[in-house]
Amino acid sequence: MHEYPPLKVIKVEVAVNKCVPKTGEIAPIHIGFLVFPGFQPIDLSGPWQAFSTANEELGQPLYLLATYGPSADVSTSDGGLRIFVEHSLETLIPQRLHTVIVPGGFGVYHAAQDRNIQYWLKSQDLSSIRTCSICTGAFLLASAGLLEGHLVTTHWRAAEQLRQAFPSLDVADERIFCESGKYWTTAGVTAGIDLALALIERDCGPLISQQVARRLLVYLRRHGDQRQYSQTLRMQDRAGMPFQKLIEQIEKDLAWSWSVDEMAAVSNMSRRTFQRKFKKCFGVSSVEALKALRLEKAQLLMAAGSMSKKEVARQVGLQLIDVPDK
């Protein structure tokens, strides 16, 4: 059996590049993506593209990206797509990593039993500035003992499983991403891009992060406190006939006054029948549901930071006093 050397804490000095100019010397940020058989491809490709786009916006390579894995190539969880792995976990690493990112995927549970992966994660964690997981990658970090006592999140479908498997974790199952000390965990899928944008903003400032978001056609930048499963999606999921058309029209024009009579007419019902059936379907009145949709959209617009509070109120049909702050 292979014996691993004892781990020793390595202190590193890393410069923080706030609002990096397009000319001049910068301290590179080495980011290592851990990949393994059965990982989720978008958990790698989404953040990778965000960091690569940041390099383009900066005009120089601030982020140096590389993949690390247990073999020379690995297949993903979707359709057997295979990718080349740049560095073996058993190879000596000349450059300690500033940021480690661990994707999720169905292969994460088998990877959590791999001694090479466990040792590599623990070794890197001694000197890394940030250690991050995307989706069920949190299980891998937790299995390595790195998340003890921390506030974490994962995809909502896996949250209860994570909570039961690791009772010492504080699992915030509704959040898009969490920052707890040096550890960042995310809900997965597109939330990996939200994580990358937040890290880019931390390193380079909001201007570069906003430019990257625009390049990637990100409609709205989401902050960590935002719910994984929005009120809009909840209503869309439940809105079978005869309310599907109504929800679609409300979403298209939240600023409209939308009286109960108008909503009933769109649903081809009398006012009384509409109110009874709507509450039975959604658990709240149509007036309460409309306000919830408006508030959620207002929170997103305010978090994006591109509109004034007055403009947000006009866009979603709320009184100025009802619009939440950033």
In a domain, 150, yes or no: yes
pLDDT in the model for residue 284: 83
**pLDDT of 237 strictly over 70:** no
pLDDT band at 6 (very low <50, low <70, confident <90, very high): low
At 101, is the pLDDT very low, low, confident or very high (cuts 50, 70, 90)? very high
- Over residues 131-145, mean pLDDT: 95
For residue 80, pLDDT beyond 80: no
- Residue 16 or 157, more confident: 157
Question: Measuring CA to CA, how many Å separate 7 from each of 126, 214, 270, 276?
Answer: 8, 42, 71, 65
Reply yes or no on whether the pLDDT at 11 is more than 60: no
Considering the domain boundaries, does residue 4 fall inside one? no
Within-domain flag for 281: yes
Model pLDDT, residue 265: 92
| Distance in angstroms (rounded) separating the CA atoms of residues 305 and 325 | 10
**Residues 54, 134: one domain?**
yes
Residues 255 and 158 grouped into a single domain: no
More confident: 70 or 245: 70
Q: 54 and 148 share a domain?
A: yes
Residues 164, 145 contacting (CB under 8 angstroms): no
| 22 lies in some domain | no
pLDDT: which is higher, 44 or 225: 44
| 266 and 126 co-located in one domain | no
Last residue of a domain, one of 215, 249, 269: 215
Whether residue 90 is predicted with pLDDT greater than 90 in this model: the reply is no
Same domain, 209 and 279: no
- Among residues 163, 182, 215, which one ends one of the domains? 215
Domain assignment of residue 20, yes or no: no
| 95 within 8 A of 14, measured Cβ to Cβ | no
The domain spanning residue 297 has which CATH number? 1.10.10.60
Strands (E), 165-282: 170-171, 177-180, 183-186
92 and 181 assigned to the same domain: yes
Answer whether residue 287 is part of any domain. yes
159 and 289 together in one domain: no
Note the pLDDT of residue 228: 47
Q: Are residues 244 and 201 in the same domain?
A: no
Within 8 A by CB and 6+ apart from 265, the residues are none
CA pseudo-torsion sign 22, 25, 31, 32: positive
pLDDT band at 165 (very low <50, low <70, confident <90, very high): very high
Handedness of CA 61, 62, 64, 65 (dihedral sign): negative
Whether 88 is in a domain gets the answer: yes
Q: Name the pLDDT band for 182 (thresholds 50, 70, 90).
A: very high
**Is 189 or 52 the better-scoring residue by pLDDT?**
52
pLDDT computed for residue 14 by the predictor: 43
Q: What pLDDT was estimated at residue 249?
A: 86
Q: Is 16 part of any domain?
A: no
263 and 171, same structural domain?
no
Say whether both 162 and 45 belong to one domain: yes
Total count of domains within the chain: 2
Same domain, 79 and 184: yes
Each residue's pLDDT tens digit, 260-289: 999 999 999 999 999 998 888 887 889 988
Given a cut of 80, whether residue 303 has pLDDT beyond it is: no
The per-residue pLDDT of the chain, averaged, comes to 83
Q: Report the percent of the chain where pLDDT is more than 90.
A: 49
Query: Domain range for residue 86?
Result: 29-215
State residue 320's pLDDT score: 80
Would the pTM count as exceeding 0.75? no
Q: Tell me, yes or no, whether 302 and 244 share the same domain.
A: yes
Of the pLDDT bands very low, low, confident and very high (cuts 50, 70, 90), residue 13 is very low
pLDDT at 15 over 80: no
